[in-house]
Amino acid sequence: MEITFLGTSSGVPTRSRNVSSVALRLPQRAEVWLFDCGEGTQHQFLRSEFKASQIRRIFVTHMHGDHIFGLMGLLATCGLAGNPQQRVDIYGPPRLNDYLQSCRRYSETHFSYPIKVHTVSPGLVYEDDEFEVRCDRLEHKVTAFGYRISEKDRPGRFDVKRAASLGIPPGPLYGQLKQGKVVTLPDGRRIRGQDLCGPPLVGRKLAYCTDTIYCDRTVELARDVDVLIHEATFAHQDADMAYQRLHSTSTMAAQVALLAEVRQQLIMTHFSPRYAPGNAVSLDDLLAEARAIFPKTLMAHDFFTHEIQRQELVAAAP
């Protein structure tokens, strides 16, 4: 699992930062899942290694323009690319489907591939054999949702040499044993798959929370995740403004990560342009504020990429 930030500014784009969008790359299935799609996201795709044809799912947090104004353009471009496009599933708050239908109607845009829009509510949003996505309400001026993406645990590494030493013939039986099943050999022996597999591979977990003021639901959504992506629109000294606009400060983001016991990394994003270089307070100050509470904090920039490691690998690191 690898995340790439395609936009890290709040409200409006700047010379160096586009508005909100994060891509989650799933190499094992050659898919890209997109979280929010602010204006200009398709231009960011052109500057990245991603292909629009790999987009399978888009998760929208809320209906503010800096999170959805790029959605219709990206979908239209996918249809004009000339490459076969599989169905794209879009998940988001109420009225998202109305918005897209109005855009299609008034622009007379016709997609050459199927699109399905799912209206989300707190709880399970999507599940397959490998992943589960849940959401919960955030605290913002409009209905907004945060998302939690969980990779399911997988059986550990299968010991092929030991299986051969036991006289187990290669073939379908190996597949069953890799899944931890119990198989009966032609000679009557019963072999437990878990005896031939190493420790289970713990699934990786990611939470994406923006836009929101600090709230307990955000902490629970991020509980024990490996990586938390959280907005940090304002510096701590501008907390009054954060409360008025229902956005987070850098210290609020860090408090969420600390209370949720985030395992690997807090990555802050969605920064106000007021902290551009040359101003009295800079983004370096926001980073220092957050690290004073949660040291494992990073600050995202456009095209910043971070690989979410498995817990075993993290534990083994020096």
Residues identified as active-site: 66
> Residue 241 is inside which H or E element, if any?
helix 239-245
3-class DSSP assignment, residue 65: helix
The SS3 of residue 272 is: coil
Q: Specify whether the CB–CB gap between 207 and 229 falls below 8 A.
A: yes
Annotate 109-146 with b (16+ C-beta within 10 A) or e (fewer).
eeeeeebebeebeeeebbeeeebbbbbbbbbbeeebbb
Sign of the C-alpha dihedral computed for residues 241, 243, 248 and 253 taken in this order: positive
Per-residue burial over 59-90, b if 16 or more Cβ lie within 10 Å, else e, is bbbbbbebbbebbbbbbbebbeeeeebeebbb
Q: Which residues pair with 145 in a beta bridge?
A: 137
Q: Is 262 helix (H, G, I), strand (E, B) or coil?
A: coil
Angle between the 96-107 and 71-80 helix axes, to the nearest 10 degrees?
50
